[in-house]
């Protein structure tokens, strides 16, 4: 029996030398230390041995078991080391390589323009009033003196959300920021109906029109509306305010001009131009040789609109204006296609 144990030990250790990988090692373990291995058969046969033999063989069997287990652990450690060494050679890691840069984002060119406008008007005492983008016909048109069927509505092709045509007050996407004038005036006049406070606000935000999309027209675009109301405000205040705005926005020497125009919610109404800041008024491709750039519309708030906002037109007057910030950004940066703004193409956005 002792002879047999010696063979078992010998065979086990010899077989282990040939083991090269984890799978072979596991197979070796099953053969030499597993439940039906020769060694385990010796252990289960111990009961049948004589009283004298049993402790001697038992002790020897334990020694063989310990020796095989120790050799097994040794081999397993060796294989692990070899695998690690191999992976370090194959997948070399250079800890001195510079890290990957996280690209920093920045503000969209339109957001930059809007913030510049808030800044300029903020310095002039105007506060930002945000109004809803989903409007109804009453606020977008009727209260601004565009009655149902008024031809001026044709200039603002409208997206209908609900009740288009059949209802007399359909839900629509606002076609301009002007309905915010009514909402702001009503909110303020409700605080003191007999003596409403003066108003000096700008109303920025998205507007929507069912436009044929071209390099000059998009179905969504920003506007920046302005509204000032108080006792004794005149057209000179409007001119002075917009002239001052143009100088702050485009440079100290920028000249402005006003051309008579028409809007239902202002009377009189004007178109507002600034001297071309690209060529300084000499005439260039951007101003199409005229020396002037059209920036927006303006006028004195119509008495009907004042009344609809809760302001008595006998006691209050006011002016309003509407600017196209995207147009300003386009002129300034020589952007020749308005569709770039919301395409989210990094090749465009990274230039600002």
Interacting residues toward ligand DAH by CB under 6 A: 176, 178, 225, 263, 266, 297-299, 320-322
Asked whether 53 and 1 are in contact (CB, 8 A), the reply is yes
Residue nearest to ligand DAH (CB): 322
Q: Which is nearer to ligand DAH, 208 or 340 (CB)?
A: 208
Q: Which is nearer to ligand DAH, 12 or 322 (CB)?
A: 322
Least CB distance from residue 176 to ligand DAH, whole Å?
3
Q: Strands across the sheet with 256-263, in order?
A: 127-128, 199-208, 220-230, 317-323, 292-301, 266-275, 256-263
Asked whether 148 and 168 are in contact (CB, 8 A), the reply is yes
Least CB distance from residue 345 to ligand DAH, whole Å?
27
Q: Which is nearer to ligand DAH, 110 or 267 (CB)?
A: 267
Q: Which residues contact 178 (CB under 8 A, 6 or more apart)?
A: 140, 144, 225, 265, 320, 322
Least CB distance from residue 274 to ligand DAH, whole Å?
16
Least CB distance from residue 112 to ligand DAH, whole Å?
22
Q: Which residues contact 223 (CB under 8 A, 6 or more apart)?
A: 176, 177, 203, 204, 205, 207, 322, 323, 324, 325
Least CB distance from residue 327 to ligand DAH, whole Å?
12
* Closest-CA residue to 225 (of 263, 196, 275, 192): 263
Q: Which is nearer to ligand DAH, 38 or 271 (CB)?
A: 271
Least CB distance from residue 264 to ligand DAH, whole Å?
9
* Closest-CA residue to 202 (of 263, 123, 266): 123
Q: Which is nearer to ligand DAH, 46 or 124 (CB)?
A: 124
Least CB distance from residue 252 to ligand DAH, whole Å?
26
Q: Which is nearer to ligand DAH, 12 or 309 (CB)?
A: 309
Q: Which is nearer to ligand DAH, 292 or 348 (CB)?
A: 292
């Amino acid at each position: 029996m002792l002879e047999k144990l010696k063979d078992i030990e010998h065979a086990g250790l010899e077989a282990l030398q040939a083991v090269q990988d984890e799978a072979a090692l596991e197979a070796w373990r099953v053969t030499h230390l597993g439940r039906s291995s020769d060694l385990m058969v010796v252990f289960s046969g111990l009961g049948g041995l004589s009283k004298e033999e049993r402790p001697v063989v038992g002790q020897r069997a334990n020694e063989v078991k310990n020796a095989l287990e120790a050799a097994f652990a040794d081999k397993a450690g060796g294989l692990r080391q070899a695998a690690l060494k191999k992976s370090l050679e194959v997948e070399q890691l250079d800890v001195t390589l510079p890290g990957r840069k996280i690209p920093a984002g920045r503000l969209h060119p339109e957001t930059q323009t809007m913030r510049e406008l808030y800044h300029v008007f903020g310095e002039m005492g105007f506060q930002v009033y945000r109004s809803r983008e989903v409007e109804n016909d009453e606020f977008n048109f009727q209260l601004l003196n565009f009655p149902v069927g008024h031809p001026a509505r044709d200039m603002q092709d409208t997206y209908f959300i609900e009740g288009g045509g059949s209802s007399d007050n359909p839900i629509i996407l606002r076609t301009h920021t002007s309905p915010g004038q009514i909402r702001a005036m009503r909110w303020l006049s409700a605080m003191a109906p007999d003596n409403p406070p003066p108003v000096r606000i700008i109303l920025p935000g998205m507007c929507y029109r069912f436009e044929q999309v071209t390099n000059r027209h998009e179905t969504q675009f920003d506007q920046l509306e302005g509204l000032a109301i108080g006792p004794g405000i005149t057209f000179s205040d409007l001119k002075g305010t917009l002239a001052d705005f143009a100088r702050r926005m485009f440079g100290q020497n920028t000249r402005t001009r006003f051309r008579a125009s028409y809007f239902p919610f202002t009377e009189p109404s004007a178109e507002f131009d600034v001297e071309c800041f690209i060529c300084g008024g000499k005439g260039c491709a951007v101003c199409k040789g005229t020396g002037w750039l059209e920036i927006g519309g303006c006028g004195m708030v119509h008495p009907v609109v004042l009344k609809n906002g809760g302001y008595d037109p006998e006691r209050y007057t006011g002016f309003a204006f509407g600017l196209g910030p995207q147009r300003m950004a386009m002129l300034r940066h020589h952007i020749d296609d308005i569709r770039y703004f919301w395409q989210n193409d990094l090749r465009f956005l990274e230039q600002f």
